[in-house]
Structure 1
Amino acid sequence: MLKRVMLLSAVGASLLWATNGDELMGIGAKSRAMGGVGIALDLGAENGLNNPAFIETGGRQEFLLGGTLFMPDVSYDGGDGYKKSDADLSVIPAAALAGRINERFSYGVGMFGTAGMGVDYRDDESESTMQMVTALQIMKFAVPLCYKFGNFRIGYTPYVQYSSLDINYKEPTLLGRHRGAGVAQDLGIGHIFGAGYVFDGKPVGGITLDGLKIGLVYKTSVDMDFKDQLQQATELFTLLGYLEDMGDTLEQPSQFGAGLSYAFGAHHTVAFDWKHINWSDAKGYKVLKWKDQDVFAIGYEYAEETWSLRAGYNYASMPFAEKDGTTAQGATINLFNLLGFPATVEQHFTFGGEYRVNEHLSFNGAFVYAPETTTTYDTSGINPEIPLLPHIINDTASVRHQQSSLTFTLNYSY
């Protein structure tokens, strides 16, 4: 049975983790510096995937170019001591353009890397990691649109999602065969619907709410079909009835959220976002018993004429919980989620800022830090039933996970 568990774990390890499940926390340096908020903020060109209702650029054309250096630190202990993944650096690009056709209608075009990571245990000789080398990349090509009427605004972003997945690893058997189907790629179509309301100085119900903005957003799910990748690695386990059939499809889940921001005084802005990610209904993830996530983000900006400082905090509980590890099925899922899907970080502290060189050019930066977590689950229900297996798995599995990232963008408007 151990062999089948380890084969299944190879699949999970091929899938990336970012901050909120496998969702990159916020898109763009401004959003990420403020804890990932963006549902109710005018962030211009970078807001196409946060909330297209707020891509307003103040009548200018705005161009954005930059990216994120994502630096995870993950180690797994499957009974042989902690082994560190060498996949500790990913580059996630971003480029976007936004502008206004008239006072009511704004548009954008963008290419955003929303994730890009994997694991690399090729130099590890222990059987608990199977010398796994994996890589998943997700890129979105988006066309955000925004229409304003009065204080209301609505937004829509259709996008094409490109995804690629590669898995190769050494089976933990006496034969030591290598598995790998090469790189699998797929394209999918997604949609983002957004709305917002901007309060001005006019009283509403006798109360003046000048500086307050509210926003709503809904993002559809996107299927990704990775031919032969998941099916090959899970076939034995599925036939034995220890796991539901995963097929070869992974689904980036739908999500919805709400946000508000408030600008006060001459320099201050605070913002709060909440979003709900539907992992429990997503193909692939629901086989692993992932649960829905509620993500809470709060951000602050202090702005002067030529510079701004930003800070924020983001929290989301883990998208999975420990199952009954004394059973084969529960132990299998526990092992899979910790070895393959170590989405165990929950808190994120952020800060950054902006320097405006002149009225056209500015530089934005953000640093995100997720403190290390250590998670240990019961895997005692996994017993070696095949004599040829050379390794007996430990009664517990543990993962250590810490993240940091740097985001930089150049913004040019005219």
Structure 2
Amino acid sequence: MNVARKILGLVFCLALTPSLALATNGDNLIGVGSISRAMGGVGIANPQDAVSAVFSNPAAMCFGGFCPSNEVDFMGTVFTPHIKADISAAGGSYSSHSGEKSYTMPAIGISYEIPEVRNLRFGLGAYATSGMGVDYRDRGIDVKPAAWGGTAPLASGTYTELGVMKFAPTVAYQFADWLSLGAAMHIDYSTLDMGAGTSDGYGVGGEFGVILKPHDKVNIGLTYITAQEVKYSRVADFDGDSKLDDLKLASPQQVGFGVSYTPIPKLLLETDVKWVNWSDAKGYKEFDWDDQWVFGVGVQYKPIDSLALRAGYNYGQNPVKKHTINGLSNVNVQGKTMNNYYYETFRLVGFPAIAEQHVTFGVGYDVSSRFAIHAGYMHAFSNSITETGVDITGAAARIKSTMSEDSYEFGLSWRF
């Protein structure tokens, strides 16, 4: 129990540390943990480590690849986004790459069997789950065109930074050899900076899951995650009245379904499907995001007992709807009147959550019966979105954002 208490303390400290993520299914990560991310983000039916069990399906703590041991995972992801904006308006054409930085995102998870209650497991996780950011400050599109009198900016959203960290206490109970139920409480700590300083806030929600095992070789998982709203104070001047406005953003409700199949002991095949309800999530619905279907497939093969080779593919359709720009009209954003041209630059330039296709690879090695190390790589292929219309003067306008991503995964698992 002393070991468990120390680990819980570390998890709590980590949960208080916000982290920026350039995410890939909308502004959500495809998965959490080195193993899941190396397998296309799957894990609803058969996660292979504690952190992805807590994240993907709390019921899976009773059927995970680490069972019947207790396990703690220390994971990390280094994200490198590549983002470019092109704007034609105000009698000129402007182009710039966002400042390219690498972002390190930690994750830690634990699954622990309660000795006094057979088949009952407690879990805890702290991990970055979503976020986004661009930095065009002092770059090609961060100008005030002379054609507009040198006072109006070319674009809004030239600097954004959103990070969401979750702290998730979890419980799961195995009712039978073929059935496990689990639940997790999500406590979100989130930060948002749109160039006027960082605002932070908290949100609360839950995740509920079930695992069915109709056959020794087959797992079926189902999950539901509630929407989780956070209010950010004084983050941007949306209506141009020289006063900073508040903004509410909600992590959307999600439904997930997964199936895994183990045809032979050395081979694991898994697929996940998720529905993400962006269109009803506070903030995202005002910026007209569409609901998203996410599909992931992953494979793990062990040529020898101590070595695991992993690969996967993940697809999630871009949720950012394409509009026609009309800089001579306005839109309403949570009670504030915003010019349509700046609304569209904010959507496309400031929050270009448009990545769709991802390939992933990874490897794991058991150093001993207690320790394993993991490494992985993800590439999100380049995708772009383009809108045309008129700017604030009525002249022809065109906005284009392009992005791709690379990430590098590393992790350590300890069983005790």
Query: 1 CA distance for matches of 2:205 and 2:100?
Result: 29
Q: Distance between the aligned counterparts of 1:296 and 1:352, measured in 2? A: 19
Aligned to 2:181: 154
Match of 2:238? 234
Q: Which residue in 2 is equivalent to 1:274?
A: 273
Q: Is residue 298 of structure 1 aligned with residue 297 of structure 2?
A: yes
| 36, 45, 70: which one aligns with 2:41 | 36
Query: Partner amino acid for 2:57?
Result: N
Deviation string, structure 1 residues 334-387 (Cα, Å, up to 9, x no partner): 433211221111100011010110100001122110111232211x232327xx
Aligned equivalent of 1:347: 357
The TM-score normalised by the length of structure 2 is 0.82
Partner of 2:137: 122
Correspondence 1:167-182 to 2 at 5 A: 167-168=194-195, 180=196, 182=197
The CA deviation string for residues 125-146 of structure 1, in whole angstroms up to 9 with x for no partner, is: 5424579443222111111211
**For residues 2-401 of structure 1, what are the structure 2 equivalents within 5 Å?**
17-46=22-51, 47-56=53-62, 57-79=66-88, 80-101=93-114, 102-124=117-139, 126-127=142-143, 128=154, 132-150=158-176, 151-168=178-195, 180=196, 182-200=197-215, 210-229=216-235, 232-236=236-240, 247-303=246-302, 304-325=304-325, 328=329, 333-378=343-388, 380-384=389-393, 395-401=397-403
Alignment check: 8 A CA contact 1:221 1:251 kept: yes
| AA at the equivalent of 2:33 | G
Q: Deviations over 1:237-268 (max 9, x none)?
A: 9x9xxxxxx95211111111101000011311
Separation in 2, partners of 1:226, 1:130: 18
Paired residue type of 2:409 = T
Partners of 1:332 and 1:16 lie apart in 2 by 24
How far apart are the structure 1 equivalents of 2:193 and 2:346?
18
Note the residue ranges of structure 1 that are not aligned, 5 or more in a row.
Answer: 1-14, 169-179, 201-209, 240-245, 386-391
How many angstroms apart in 2 are the aligned matches of 1:199 and 1:363?
31
Name the SS for the 2:406 alignment partner.
strand
- Percent identity of the aligned residues? 33
Give aligned pairs, total: 363
1:101-147 deviation line (CA, Å, top 9, x unaligned): 14411111111112354222223154245794432221111112111
Q: 1:364 to 1:44 in 2, by over 3 A?
A: same
Whose strand proportion is higher, 1 or 2? Answer: 2
Quote the offset at 1:222 in angstroms: 0.8
- Mapped to 1, the partners of 2:157 and 2:38 lie a distance apart of 36
Q: SS at the partner of 2:297?
A: strand
Query: Displacement, 1:324?
Result: 2.9
State which drifts further: 55-64 or 44-53: 55-64
TM-superposed deviation, 1:87: 4.2
Inter-partner Cα distance in structure 1 for 2:134 and 2:408: 20
| Range with greater deviation from structure 2 (325-334 or 152-161) | 325-334
- Say what the alpha-carbon RMSD is for the aligned residues: 2.3
Aligned partners of 2:87 and 2:272: how far apart in 1? 37
> Following the alignment from structure 1 to structure 2, what is the Cα–Cα distance between the partners of residues 265 and 292?
37
Question: 1:61 Cα deviation (Å)?
Answer: 1.7
Q: Where in structure 1 do 4 or more consecutive aligned residues deviate above 6 Å?
A: none
SS at match of 1:342: coil
Contact conserved, 2:273 with 2:294, CA < 8 A, in 1? yes
SS of the aligned residue for 1:82 comes to strand
The one-letter code matched in structure 2 to 1:35 is G
Native 8 Å contact 1:290 1:319 kept in 2: yes
Instruction: Compare 336-345 and 185-194 and name the one that shifted more.
Output: 336-345
Report if the CA contact (8 A) 1:138-1:162 is conserved.
yes
Alpha-carbon separation, structure 2, partners of 1:211 and 1:217 = 20
CA distance in 2 between counterparts of 1:360 and 1:217 reads 30
| Distance 1:131-1:337 versus aligned 2 partners, 3 A rule | closer
Q: State the TM-score, normalizing by the size of structure 1.
A: 0.82
- The answer to whether the 8 Å contact 2:312/2:360 transfers is yes
Is the Cα–Cα contact under 8 Å of residues 92 and 115 in structure 1 kept in the other structure?
no
**2:187–2:203 CA contact under 8 A, matched in 1:** yes
Closer/same/farther in 2, CA of residues 317 and 261 from structure 1, 3 Å limit: same
Matching of residues 396-407 of structure 1 within 5 Å: 396-407=398-409
Cα distance in structure 2, aligned partners of 1:256 and 1:130: 33
Note if contact 1:323-1:333 (Cα within 8 Å) is conserved in structure 2. no
CA distance in 2, matches of 1:223, 1:95: 23
Partner of 2:334: none
Once the two structures are TM-superposed, the CA of residue 294 in structure 1 deviates from its matched residue by 0.3
The letter of the residue matching 1:340 is: G
Equivalent pair of 1:67/1:93 in contact (CA under 8 Å): yes
